[in-house]
Amino acid sequence: MRNRRLERALYGPTIYEVTLGLLLSIALGAGLAVLFLIFKPAEVVAEMPKEDERKPGVVYYVAGTADAGKAKLWMRKHQALVDGTPGEIAFTEDDLNVWFMSSTEAGKQATEKAAAAAKTAAAKAAAKPAGKPAPGAPAAPAVAAAPEEQPPTDLITPSVINFRIRDGVVQVGLPTTITTLGYTFPVVAQTRGTIEKQGDAFVFVPETVLIGSLPLHRFPNAVEYMKQRVMSSASLPPELVAAWKKAKNVTVDGKTIKLTI
């Protein structure tokens, strides 16, 4: 009868064991590298640094603007799109971002959170005495503390989608919070690409997809899965999804997306 312990002591591990150990080591190393890149945050900047000023290995994220003053006609454009009014409708990034902030659940929550923070800051500033109070003067009323924000309980909590349009390229950003083991990690998912017609529908064709610092566009199947998840989630207003299917033409011109109904 073969003594496996003796054979192992005499001849060492088998080829099968060596191969299995090597494959497991590679898989573990690849998994750790993916996690490291995902949780390595993108550097949020107001403008993209010049080529010679960019730090090696750093991923940058520039959010699109959401200026309500520049998007005064977004509701009229929105209604024309919903009604299917024939003609061309041009959306700027301000139009889209104000629309998403107003119409999606994540946008409404972000707006309420910003308004509450501004109210608390204004109350603290108003309650701060300009100088020393006069003797015998009543003390200023204490400012009620803002309710403590509870950490998210879901593993992945997406925020509101953000658009940035430059030189015919559409950037879509999705700030996200990942909660695991009692810790929260802010992660920005961002993609840049163009809009093309495939078959009978116009689709967004990503050129780059980044999750944190992970270049997801190197994994085509993962990119397709993400596109399907976004299209089936509540991140997009349902009226936009319905109107998009009716569009006869969609182009990206400079800083606008033009839809022809």
* Other C-beta atoms lying within 10 Å of the C-beta of residue 187: 21
Return the pLDDT at 144: 52
Strand ranges in the chain using DSSP code E only, listed in sequence order: 43-44, 60-61, 88-92, 156-158, 162-166, 169-180, 183-198, 201-211, 214-215, 249-253, 256-260
Instruction: Give the Cα-Cα-Cα angle 41, 154, 205 (nearest 5 degrees).
Output: 55
Pairwise CA distance, residues 20 & 16, whole Å: 6
Q: Amino acid identity, residue 255? A: K
Contacts of 210 (CB under 8 A, 6+ apart): 42, 59, 188, 189, 190, 191, 216, 217
Q: What is the DSSP string of 80-113?
A: HHHHT-SSEEEEEHHHHHHHHHHHSHHHHHHHHH
What domains can be seen in the chain, in order of their start residue?
74-116+151-260 (3.15.10)
Pairwise CA distance, residues 254 & 261, whole Å: 20
Query: What is the pLDDT tens value at each position of the chain, 261 positions in all?
Result: 455 665 555 555 667 666 777 777 777 776 777 777 787 888 999 998 998 898 998 999 999 999 989 999 999 998 898 888 899 999 999 999 998 888 767 666 666 666 666 666 666 666 665 555 556 555 555 545 545 556 556 677 778 889 999 999 999 998 888 887 778 888 898 999 999 988 888 888 889 999 999 898 888 777 777 777 666 555 677 778 788 888 889 999 989 999 998
Pairwise CA distance, residues 56 & 45, whole Å: 16
